[in-house]
Amino acid sequence: MRHRCQLDFMIQKAGNTGIPLGVLKKEFYENFNRLAGMEPESRLYHAEYQAWIVLWPDEDFSGVDPEMPPISDHIVAYTPRISTENGLSHFDDQLNTMEASLNRSRQLRDAYDKQSEELERVNQELFDAEREIDKMTGKVDGLKEMCKQKDEEHLEYVVKNEQKKRQMKATILQLRGELAQQSRAH
């Protein structure tokens, strides 16, 4: 049997279909360890195949017959033939890289969500502050209007009192004049 290694494709497929890489790694290694007495290439093939049928039971596994043209660009045929040790270290490297990428992606998504929540909170605070400013501005405008009205009333009062004062002075002067005339006439 000739084996066409599917580990790279399986890692990519797991990422694209939302299957956690830890699940792929667990399925692959459980099967790989269970098949310890087999020839390395067969062992690798069967471990991939068993993991594939657990994770993607409705899809065909295409890891056989390297003479057949690849079904997709994602399928890798290794030359020279892959050894179990090389295949596993490559698989581990790929899984670790993909897990690190997914973890970083989650961290960035969490940071984005946190920033979005913080931005929403700040926007709400800004909205509340602007509403409070509008209320205070309304109160200040009301006070200004009230002060303006009181100033106008006070000005009217002062003007009326000035007029009364002038009238009283005029009346006093008139009375003094009349008294002076009466005093001269007597």
What local confidence, expressed as pLDDT, does residue 99 receive?
76
What are 90's two structure tokens?
């490559």
Q: For every one of its 186 residues, what pLDDT tens digit does the chain have, with 9 covering 90 and above? A: 456 677 878 888 888 888 988 898 889 888 888 887 777 777 788 888 889 989 998 888 776 544 433 434 444 444 444 445 555 666 677 777 777 877 888 888 899 999 999 999 999 999 999 999 988 888 888 888 888 888 888 888 888 989 999 999 999 999 988 888 888 887
Nearest to 44 by CA among 97, 89, 111: 89
Measured CA to CA in angstroms, residue 153 lies from 19, 54, 147, 156, 160 at distances of: 80, 91, 9, 5, 10
Measured CA to CA in angstroms, residue 85 lies from 27, 62, 94, 165 at distances of: 18, 22, 14, 116
**Domain coordinates of the chain in residue numbers?**
7-107
pTM metric for this prediction: 0.40
Tell me which amino acid residue 90 is.
Answer: H
Tell me which amino acid residue 65 is.
Answer: D
Cα-trace Rg, the chain: 47
d(CA 99, CA 22): 8
What local confidence, expressed as pLDDT, does residue 98 receive?
72
DSSP per-residue codes, 41-95 = HHHHHHHHHHHHHHH-TTS----B-TTSPPSSTT----SSPPPHHHHHHHHHHHH
What local confidence, expressed as pLDDT, does residue 63 receive?
65
User: Please, which residues bridge with residue 3 across strands?
Assistant: 64
| Cα dihedral sign, 42-66-24-89 | positive
